[in-house]
Chain A
Protein backbone atom coordinates (compact mmCIF):
# COMPACT_ATOMS: atom_id res chain seq x y z
CA UNK A 1 0.00 0.00 0.00
CA UNK A 2 1.24 3.47 -0.84
CA UNK A 3 2.50 5.41 2.08
CA UNK A 4 1.01 8.76 2.67
CA UNK A 5 2.72 11.90 3.79
CA UNK A 6 0.69 13.50 6.54
CA UNK A 7 3.28 16.15 7.30
CA UNK A 8 2.83 19.87 6.72
CA UNK A 9 4.95 19.53 3.57
CA UNK A 10 2.73 16.69 2.40
CA UNK A 11 -0.40 18.82 2.77
CA UNK A 12 1.25 21.78 1.06
CA UNK A 13 2.29 19.53 -1.79
CA UNK A 14 -1.21 18.14 -2.07
CA UNK A 15 -2.68 21.63 -2.05
CA UNK A 16 -0.39 22.59 -4.91
CA UNK A 17 -1.45 19.50 -6.89
CA UNK A 18 -5.13 20.21 -6.32
CA UNK A 19 -4.85 23.82 -7.43
CA UNK A 20 -2.92 22.76 -10.54
CA UNK A 21 -5.45 20.03 -11.31
CA UNK A 22 -8.27 22.52 -10.90
CA UNK A 23 -6.62 24.58 -13.60
CA UNK A 24 -6.70 21.59 -15.93
CA UNK A 25 -3.26 20.11 -15.28
CA UNK A 26 -3.80 16.40 -15.88
CA UNK A 27 -0.38 15.35 -14.68
CA UNK A 28 -1.14 16.98 -11.32
CA UNK A 29 -4.39 15.05 -11.12
CA UNK A 30 -2.51 11.88 -12.12
CA UNK A 31 -0.29 12.42 -9.07
CA UNK A 32 -3.37 12.66 -6.89
CA UNK A 33 -4.58 9.40 -8.44
CA UNK A 34 -1.21 7.81 -7.63
CA UNK A 35 -1.49 9.06 -4.10
CA UNK A 36 -4.99 7.82 -3.35
CA UNK A 37 -5.69 4.93 -5.68
CA UNK A 38 -4.50 2.13 -3.39
CA UNK A 39 -6.15 3.56 -0.31
CA UNK A 40 -9.46 4.00 -2.00
CA UNK A 41 -9.24 0.59 -3.67
CA UNK A 42 -8.38 -1.13 -0.41
CA UNK A 43 -11.37 0.39 1.38
CA UNK A 44 -13.76 -0.38 -1.47
CA UNK A 45 -12.43 -3.90 -1.80
CA UNK A 46 -13.17 -4.54 1.85
CA UNK A 47 -16.68 -3.19 1.37
CA UNK A 48 -17.44 -5.06 -1.85
CA UNK A 49 -15.19 -8.16 -1.54
CA UNK A 50 -14.83 -8.02 -5.29
CA UNK A 51 -11.69 -6.77 -6.99
CA UNK A 52 -13.32 -5.79 -10.26
CA UNK A 53 -16.21 -4.00 -8.60
CA UNK A 54 -13.79 -2.17 -6.33
CA UNK A 55 -11.60 -1.16 -9.28
CA UNK A 56 -14.61 0.04 -11.26
CA UNK A 57 -15.75 2.10 -8.30
CA UNK A 58 -12.30 3.61 -7.85
CA UNK A 59 -12.14 4.61 -11.51
CA UNK A 60 -15.61 6.05 -11.41
CA UNK A 61 -14.78 7.98 -8.27
CA UNK A 62 -11.68 9.51 -9.79
CA UNK A 63 -13.53 10.42 -12.96
CA UNK A 64 -16.24 12.11 -10.92
CA UNK A 65 -13.63 13.81 -8.77
CA UNK A 66 -11.88 15.08 -11.87
CA UNK A 67 -15.13 16.30 -13.36
CA UNK A 68 -16.14 18.04 -10.13
CA UNK A 69 -12.72 19.23 -9.06
CA UNK A 70 -13.54 22.85 -9.76
CA UNK A 71 -16.25 22.68 -7.11
CA UNK A 72 -13.81 21.35 -4.51
CA UNK A 73 -12.70 24.05 -2.14
CA UNK A 74 -8.90 23.87 -2.08
CA UNK A 75 -7.61 23.88 1.46
CA UNK A 76 -10.39 21.68 2.82
CA UNK A 77 -10.04 17.94 3.25
CA UNK A 78 -9.47 16.41 -0.17
CA UNK A 79 -9.25 12.86 1.15
CA UNK A 80 -12.63 13.09 2.90
CA UNK A 81 -14.12 14.63 -0.24
CA UNK A 82 -12.75 11.84 -2.42
CA UNK A 83 -13.85 9.08 -0.05
CA UNK A 84 -17.27 10.65 0.11
CA UNK A 85 -17.58 10.48 -3.68
CA UNK A 86 -16.48 6.85 -3.50
CA UNK A 87 -19.01 6.10 -0.78
CA UNK A 88 -21.81 7.65 -2.81
CA UNK A 89 -20.77 5.53 -5.80
CA UNK A 90 -20.73 2.46 -3.62
CA UNK A 91 -24.20 3.23 -2.24
CA UNK A 92 -25.52 3.68 -5.78
CA UNK A 93 -23.90 0.46 -6.84
CA UNK A 94 -25.52 -1.40 -3.93
CA UNK A 95 -28.89 -0.21 -5.05
CA UNK A 96 -28.43 -1.64 -8.52
CA UNK A 97 -26.36 -4.77 -8.14
CA UNK A 98 -26.06 -7.90 -6.11
CA UNK A 99 -22.47 -7.64 -5.02
CA UNK A 100 -23.18 -6.57 -1.50
CA UNK A 101 -23.93 -9.88 0.15
CA UNK A 102 -21.14 -11.88 -1.44
CA UNK A 103 -19.56 -14.48 0.75
CA UNK A 104 -15.96 -14.11 1.71
CA UNK A 105 -13.85 -16.10 -0.75
CA UNK A 106 -12.14 -19.05 0.89
CA UNK A 107 -8.86 -18.51 -0.87
CA UNK A 108 -7.75 -15.24 0.63
CA UNK A 109 -4.81 -13.74 -1.20
CA UNK A 110 -1.50 -13.97 0.59
CA UNK A 111 -0.60 -11.06 2.77
CA UNK A 112 2.92 -9.83 3.13
CA UNK A 113 4.50 -11.38 6.16
CA UNK A 114 4.97 -8.74 8.84
CA UNK A 115 6.27 -9.26 12.35
CA UNK A 116 2.73 -9.51 13.69
CA UNK A 117 1.77 -12.18 11.15
CA UNK A 118 4.51 -14.38 12.43
CA UNK A 119 2.90 -14.64 15.85
CA UNK A 120 -0.70 -14.63 14.71
CA UNK A 121 -2.21 -17.72 13.19
CA UNK A 122 -3.82 -17.86 9.78
CA UNK A 123 -6.98 -19.01 11.53
CA UNK A 124 -7.22 -15.77 13.46
CA UNK A 125 -6.75 -13.73 10.29
CA UNK A 126 -9.38 -15.75 8.47
CA UNK A 127 -11.76 -15.46 11.43
CA UNK A 128 -11.20 -11.74 11.43
CA UNK A 129 -11.88 -11.51 7.70
CA UNK A 130 -15.13 -13.41 8.15
CA UNK A 131 -16.11 -11.43 11.22
CA UNK A 132 -15.64 -8.18 9.31
CA UNK A 133 -17.87 -9.50 6.55
CA UNK A 134 -20.56 -10.22 9.10
CA UNK A 135 -20.62 -6.62 10.24
CA UNK A 136 -23.42 -4.50 8.82
CA UNK A 137 -21.98 -2.47 5.97
CA UNK A 138 -22.47 0.87 7.69
CA UNK A 139 -20.44 -0.30 10.70
CA UNK A 140 -17.77 -1.86 8.50
CA UNK A 141 -17.34 1.27 6.40
CA UNK A 142 -16.88 3.43 9.49
CA UNK A 143 -14.50 1.06 11.25
CA UNK A 144 -12.29 0.65 8.19
CA UNK A 145 -12.03 4.40 7.75
CA UNK A 146 -10.91 4.65 11.36
CA UNK A 147 -8.52 1.71 11.39
CA UNK A 148 -7.05 1.73 7.91
CA UNK A 149 -7.31 5.37 6.98
CA UNK A 150 -6.78 6.75 10.46
CA UNK A 151 -9.62 9.22 9.96
CA UNK A 152 -10.97 10.98 13.00
CA UNK A 153 -14.62 10.52 13.94
CA UNK A 154 -15.31 13.96 12.52
CA UNK A 155 -13.75 13.02 9.17
CA UNK A 156 -15.61 9.69 9.10
CA UNK A 157 -18.82 11.62 9.66
CA UNK A 158 -17.91 13.86 6.74
CA UNK A 159 -17.28 10.91 4.42
CA UNK A 160 -20.38 8.96 5.39
CA UNK A 161 -22.60 12.00 5.78
CA UNK A 162 -23.30 11.43 9.48
CA UNK A 163 -22.92 13.29 12.70
CA UNK A 164 -19.71 12.80 14.62
CA UNK A 165 -21.62 11.05 17.38
CA UNK A 166 -23.12 8.52 14.97
CA UNK A 167 -19.71 7.87 13.44
CA UNK A 168 -18.31 7.21 16.91
CA UNK A 169 -21.23 4.97 17.73
CA UNK A 170 -20.76 2.92 14.55
CA UNK A 171 -17.07 2.39 15.25
CA UNK A 172 -17.95 1.49 18.85
CA UNK A 173 -20.47 -1.13 17.69
CA UNK A 174 -18.15 -2.55 15.05
CA UNK A 175 -15.34 -2.96 17.58
CA UNK A 176 -17.68 -4.49 20.13
CA UNK A 177 -19.07 -7.00 17.64
CA UNK A 178 -15.68 -7.96 16.26
CA UNK A 179 -14.25 -8.48 19.72
CA UNK A 180 -17.13 -10.68 20.74
CA UNK A 181 -16.79 -12.74 17.57
CA UNK A 182 -13.05 -13.09 17.94
CA UNK A 183 -12.82 -13.58 21.70
CA UNK A 184 -12.63 -17.40 21.64
CA UNK A 185 -9.93 -17.42 18.97
CA UNK A 186 -7.91 -14.70 20.69
CA UNK A 187 -8.12 -16.68 23.92
CA UNK A 188 -6.79 -19.76 22.13
CA UNK A 189 -3.97 -17.71 20.63
CA UNK A 190 -3.09 -16.32 24.03
CA UNK A 191 -2.96 -19.75 25.61
CA UNK A 192 -0.85 -21.06 22.76
CA UNK A 193 1.67 -18.25 23.13
Chain B
Protein backbone atom coordinates (compact mmCIF):
# COMPACT_ATOMS: atom_id res chain seq x y z
CA UNK B 1 0.00 0.00 0.00
CA UNK B 2 1.26 3.48 -0.75
CA UNK B 3 1.25 6.45 1.58
CA UNK B 4 -1.90 8.02 0.12
CA UNK B 5 -3.91 4.88 0.77
CA UNK B 6 -2.56 4.60 4.30
CA UNK B 7 -3.41 8.21 5.06
CA UNK B 8 -6.92 7.85 3.69
CA UNK B 9 -7.46 4.78 5.82
CA UNK B 10 -6.29 6.63 8.88
CA UNK B 11 -8.68 9.47 8.08
CA UNK B 12 -11.54 6.99 7.85
CA UNK B 13 -10.56 5.05 10.96
CA UNK B 14 -12.63 5.27 14.08
CA UNK B 15 -9.43 5.34 16.12
CA UNK B 16 -6.45 6.55 14.09
CA UNK B 17 -4.30 6.03 17.17
CA UNK B 18 -5.02 2.29 17.04
CA UNK B 19 -4.49 1.37 13.38
CA UNK B 20 -4.74 -2.13 11.97
CA UNK B 21 -1.67 -4.37 11.85
CA UNK B 22 -1.28 -3.72 8.14
CA UNK B 23 -1.14 0.02 8.68
CA UNK B 24 1.15 -0.36 11.65
CA UNK B 25 3.61 -2.29 9.48
CA UNK B 26 3.65 0.55 7.00
CA UNK B 27 4.02 3.16 9.74
CA UNK B 28 6.98 1.29 11.18
CA UNK B 29 8.82 1.76 7.90
CA UNK B 30 7.56 5.15 6.78
CA UNK B 31 8.60 8.24 8.77
CA UNK B 32 6.43 10.61 6.75
CA UNK B 33 3.25 8.63 7.44
CA UNK B 34 4.25 8.35 11.09
CA UNK B 35 4.54 12.12 11.25
CA UNK B 36 1.24 12.49 9.44
CA UNK B 37 -0.48 10.14 11.90
CA UNK B 38 1.02 12.05 14.83
CA UNK B 39 -0.40 15.28 13.43
CA UNK B 40 -3.83 13.77 13.09
CA UNK B 41 -3.78 12.47 16.65
CA UNK B 42 -2.41 15.75 17.99
CA UNK B 43 -5.12 17.67 16.20
CA UNK B 44 -7.87 15.50 17.69
CA UNK B 45 -6.45 15.82 21.18
CA UNK B 46 -6.26 19.57 20.80
CA UNK B 47 -9.89 19.79 19.72
CA UNK B 48 -10.93 18.29 23.02
CA UNK B 49 -8.84 20.94 24.76
CA UNK B 50 -10.23 23.95 22.98
CA UNK B 51 -11.63 26.31 25.58
CA UNK B 52 -15.35 26.52 26.25
CA UNK B 53 -16.77 29.20 28.55
CA UNK B 54 -18.35 27.67 31.65
CA UNK B 55 -22.08 27.18 31.68
CA UNK B 56 -23.84 28.84 34.58
CA UNK B 57 -27.38 27.77 33.76
CA UNK B 58 -27.21 24.21 35.06
CA UNK B 59 -27.73 25.05 38.73
CA UNK B 60 -30.66 27.33 37.94
CA UNK B 61 -32.20 24.67 35.75
CA UNK B 62 -31.87 22.01 38.44
CA UNK B 63 -33.22 24.38 41.06
CA UNK B 64 -36.23 25.15 38.90
CA UNK B 65 -36.85 21.47 38.32
CA UNK B 66 -36.71 20.83 42.04
CA UNK B 67 -39.15 23.63 42.81
CA UNK B 68 -41.48 22.52 40.06
CA UNK B 69 -41.34 18.99 41.51
CA UNK B 70 -42.17 20.26 44.97
CA UNK B 71 -45.07 22.27 43.65
CA UNK B 72 -46.42 19.28 41.76
CA UNK B 73 -46.03 16.90 44.68
CA UNK B 74 -47.74 19.26 47.12
CA UNK B 75 -51.00 17.62 48.28
CA UNK B 76 -53.99 19.24 46.69
CA UNK B 77 -56.17 20.92 49.28
CA UNK B 78 -59.64 19.49 49.10
CA UNK B 79 -62.37 22.04 49.63
CA UNK B 80 -64.94 20.77 52.17
CA UNK B 81 -67.76 21.74 49.81
CA UNK B 82 -66.64 18.98 47.44
CA UNK B 83 -67.92 16.45 49.95
CA UNK B 84 -71.44 17.79 49.58
CA UNK B 85 -73.63 16.41 46.87
CA UNK B 86 -74.34 19.12 44.25
CA UNK B 87 -74.85 21.96 46.76
CA UNK B 88 -74.08 24.77 44.30
CA UNK B 89 -75.53 23.31 41.13
CA UNK B 90 -77.27 26.55 40.16
CA UNK B 91 -74.20 28.64 40.89
CA UNK B 92 -72.05 26.34 38.70
CA UNK B 93 -74.56 26.64 35.88
CA UNK B 94 -74.40 30.43 36.04
CA UNK B 95 -70.60 30.31 36.01
CA UNK B 96 -70.64 28.12 32.90
CA UNK B 97 -73.00 30.54 31.21
CA UNK B 98 -70.76 33.52 31.99
CA UNK B 99 -67.71 31.66 30.65
CA UNK B 100 -69.58 30.86 27.45
CA UNK B 101 -70.64 34.47 27.08
CA UNK B 102 -67.09 35.76 27.63
CA UNK B 103 -65.81 33.27 25.06
CA UNK B 104 -68.37 34.35 22.48
CA UNK B 105 -67.55 38.04 23.07
CA UNK B 106 -63.80 37.34 22.68
CA UNK B 107 -64.43 35.51 19.43
CA UNK B 108 -66.45 38.42 18.12
CA UNK B 109 -63.69 40.91 19.00
CA UNK B 110 -61.11 38.63 17.36
CA UNK B 111 -63.21 38.28 14.21
CA UNK B 112 -63.64 42.06 13.95
CA UNK B 113 -59.91 42.62 14.44
CA UNK B 114 -59.12 39.97 11.81
CA UNK B 115 -61.55 41.51 9.35
CA UNK B 116 -60.10 45.03 9.75
CA UNK B 117 -56.45 43.85 9.52
CA UNK B 118 -54.74 43.86 6.07
CA UNK B 119 -54.81 40.26 4.90
CA UNK B 120 -51.82 40.17 2.60
CA UNK B 121 -48.98 41.69 4.55
CA UNK B 122 -45.64 41.91 2.74
CA UNK B 123 -43.36 39.23 4.18
CA UNK B 124 -40.26 40.65 5.88
CA UNK B 125 -36.99 40.41 3.99
CA UNK B 126 -35.18 37.29 5.10
CA UNK B 127 -31.79 37.92 6.65
CA UNK B 128 -28.64 36.76 4.89
CA UNK B 129 -27.88 34.35 7.71
CA UNK B 130 -31.33 32.85 7.62
CA UNK B 131 -31.10 32.31 3.88
CA UNK B 132 -27.60 30.88 4.29
CA UNK B 133 -28.86 28.45 6.91
CA UNK B 134 -31.55 27.27 4.49
CA UNK B 135 -28.99 26.81 1.73
CA UNK B 136 -26.74 24.86 4.08
CA UNK B 137 -29.66 22.70 4.98
CA UNK B 138 -30.22 21.85 1.34
CA UNK B 139 -26.54 21.04 0.93
CA UNK B 140 -26.63 18.93 4.03
CA UNK B 141 -29.58 16.90 2.78
CA UNK B 142 -27.84 16.39 -0.56
CA UNK B 143 -24.78 15.05 1.24
CA UNK B 144 -26.74 12.94 3.67
CA UNK B 145 -27.19 9.94 1.39
CA UNK B 146 -25.38 6.65 1.34
CA UNK B 147 -23.25 6.34 -1.76
CA UNK B 148 -21.02 8.73 -3.72
CA UNK B 149 -23.20 8.06 -6.75
CA UNK B 150 -26.32 9.23 -4.96
CA UNK B 151 -24.45 12.21 -3.58
CA UNK B 152 -23.22 13.21 -7.05
CA UNK B 153 -26.73 12.96 -8.48
CA UNK B 154 -28.22 14.99 -5.65
CA UNK B 155 -25.47 17.60 -5.74
CA UNK B 156 -25.93 18.01 -9.50
CA UNK B 157 -29.63 18.52 -8.94
CA UNK B 158 -28.91 21.05 -6.21
CA UNK B 159 -26.47 22.85 -8.55
CA UNK B 160 -29.18 22.99 -11.23
CA UNK B 161 -31.67 24.44 -8.76
CA UNK B 162 -29.24 27.01 -7.38
CA UNK B 163 -28.25 28.01 -10.88
CA UNK B 164 -31.89 28.35 -11.91
CA UNK B 165 -32.74 30.37 -8.82
CA UNK B 166 -29.70 32.62 -9.35
CA UNK B 167 -30.93 33.54 -12.82
CA UNK B 168 -34.07 34.90 -11.22
CA UNK B 169 -32.14 37.11 -8.81
CA UNK B 170 -31.06 39.77 -11.30
CA UNK B 171 -31.19 43.18 -9.66
CA UNK B 172 -30.71 41.78 -6.16
CA UNK B 173 -26.94 41.77 -6.32
CA UNK B 174 -26.33 40.92 -2.71
CA UNK B 175 -28.53 37.85 -2.78
CA UNK B 176 -27.18 36.91 -6.19
CA UNK B 177 -23.63 36.99 -4.83
CA UNK B 178 -24.67 34.76 -1.97
CA UNK B 179 -26.18 32.28 -4.44
CA UNK B 180 -23.11 32.43 -6.62
CA UNK B 181 -20.79 31.70 -3.70
CA UNK B 182 -22.94 28.80 -2.67
CA UNK B 183 -23.05 27.52 -6.25
CA UNK B 184 -19.25 27.66 -6.36
CA UNK B 185 -19.08 25.51 -3.24
CA UNK B 186 -21.63 23.00 -4.50
CA UNK B 187 -20.01 22.60 -7.92
CA UNK B 188 -16.36 23.50 -7.37
CA UNK B 189 -15.96 21.68 -4.11
CA UNK B 190 -18.55 19.07 -3.22
CA UNK B 191 -19.62 17.85 -6.64
CA UNK B 192 -16.05 17.40 -7.84
CA UNK B 193 -14.98 15.75 -4.60
CA UNK B 194 -17.83 13.30 -4.79
CA UNK B 195 -17.23 12.64 -8.46
CA UNK B 196 -13.72 11.51 -7.55
CA UNK B 197 -15.23 8.99 -5.17
CA UNK B 198 -17.23 7.31 -7.93
CA UNK B 199 -16.25 3.85 -9.08
CA UNK B 200 -14.38 4.19 -12.41
CA UNK B 201 -17.01 2.09 -14.20
CA UNK B 202 -19.79 4.44 -13.03
CA UNK B 203 -18.14 7.67 -14.06
CA UNK B 204 -19.15 7.80 -17.69
CA UNK B 205 -22.79 6.94 -17.04
CA UNK B 206 -23.23 9.37 -14.16
CA UNK B 207 -21.04 12.28 -15.15
CA UNK B 208 -21.75 12.68 -18.87
CA UNK B 209 -25.19 14.17 -18.31
CA UNK B 210 -23.99 16.39 -15.47
CA UNK B 211 -21.10 17.72 -17.58
CA UNK B 212 -23.57 18.57 -20.31
CA UNK B 213 -25.81 20.39 -17.80
CA UNK B 214 -22.84 22.38 -16.52
CA UNK B 215 -21.96 23.32 -20.06
CA UNK B 216 -25.47 24.62 -20.55
CA UNK B 217 -25.31 26.45 -17.21
CA UNK B 218 -22.11 28.10 -18.37
CA UNK B 219 -23.61 29.33 -21.63
CA UNK B 220 -26.76 30.62 -19.86
CA UNK B 221 -24.73 32.50 -17.27
CA UNK B 222 -22.31 33.89 -19.89
CA UNK B 223 -25.25 35.11 -21.97
CA UNK B 224 -26.75 36.90 -18.95
CA UNK B 225 -23.36 38.39 -18.09
CA UNK B 226 -23.28 39.98 -21.55
CA UNK B 227 -26.92 41.01 -21.37
CA UNK B 228 -26.58 42.87 -18.05
CA UNK B 229 -23.12 44.27 -18.63
CA UNK B 230 -24.33 47.86 -18.85
CA UNK B 231 -27.68 47.83 -17.01
CA UNK B 232 -26.47 45.92 -13.94
CA UNK B 233 -22.68 45.52 -13.94
CA UNK B 234 -22.62 43.93 -10.49
CA UNK B 235 -25.08 41.22 -11.51
CA UNK B 236 -23.14 40.75 -14.75
CA UNK B 237 -19.93 40.16 -12.79
CA UNK B 238 -21.66 37.54 -10.65
CA UNK B 239 -23.05 35.77 -13.72
CA UNK B 240 -19.55 35.78 -15.17
CA UNK B 241 -18.36 34.10 -11.99
CA UNK B 242 -21.10 31.47 -12.24
CA UNK B 243 -20.12 30.83 -15.85
CA UNK B 244 -16.50 30.30 -14.84
CA UNK B 245 -17.42 27.92 -12.02
CA UNK B 246 -19.66 25.92 -14.38
CA UNK B 247 -16.96 25.80 -17.04
CA UNK B 248 -14.33 24.60 -14.60
CA UNK B 249 -16.73 22.04 -13.15
CA UNK B 250 -17.55 20.72 -16.60
CA UNK B 251 -13.87 20.43 -17.53
CA UNK B 252 -12.99 18.66 -14.29
CA UNK B 253 -15.79 16.15 -14.82
CA UNK B 254 -14.78 15.48 -18.40
CA UNK B 255 -11.16 14.99 -17.34
CA UNK B 256 -12.36 12.52 -14.74
CA UNK B 257 -14.47 10.64 -17.31
CA UNK B 258 -11.51 10.38 -19.64
CA UNK B 259 -9.38 8.99 -16.84
Interface residues of A (CB under 8 A from B): 26-27, 29-30, 33-34, 37-38, 41-42, 45-46, 51, 54-55, 58-59, 62, 91, 94-101, 108-111, 114, 116-117, 120, 124-125, 128-129, 132, 136-138, 143-144, 146-148, 152-153, 161-163, 165-166, 168-173, 175-176, 178-179, 182-183, 186, 190
Contact = CB atoms under 8 A, between A and B. Distances in A.
A164 to B, nearest CB: 9
Contacts of B66: 26-27, 30
B40 A30 contact: no
A176 to B, nearest CB: 6
Contacts of B49: 111, 114, 116-117, 125
Interface stretch (B25-33, B50-58, B80-88, B242-250): B50-58
Nearest to B47: A147
A137 B136 contact: yes
Identify whether the interface residues of A are mostly helix, strand, loop, or mixed. Answer: helix
Interface of B: 8, 11-12, 14, 35, 39-40, 42-53, 55-58, 61-62, 65-66, 68-69, 127, 129-130, 132-134, 136-137, 139-140, 143-147, 193
B129 A125 contact: no
Nearest to A129: B50
B51 to A, nearest CB: 4
Nearest to A139: B143
Contacts, number: 145
A54 B55 CA distance: 9
A153 B46 contact: no
A86 B45 CA distance: 24
A54 B130 CA distance: 18
Given A34-B62, A58-B55, A144 B47 contact: yes
Contacts of B35: 190
A179 B136 contact: no
Contacts of A51: 53, 55
B73 to A, nearest CB: 9
24 contacts: A37-B58, A41-B52, A45-B53, A46-B50, A91-B137, A98-B127, A98-B130, A100-B136, A111-B49, A111-B50, A120-B46, A125-B51, A136-B136, A136-B140, A137-B140, A138-B144, A148-B48, A152-B14, A162-B144, A172-B12, A175-B44, A182-B39, A182-B43, A186-B43
A109 B51 contact: yes
Contacts of A120: 42, 46
A125 B50 contact: yes
Contacts of B133: 94-95, 98, 100-101
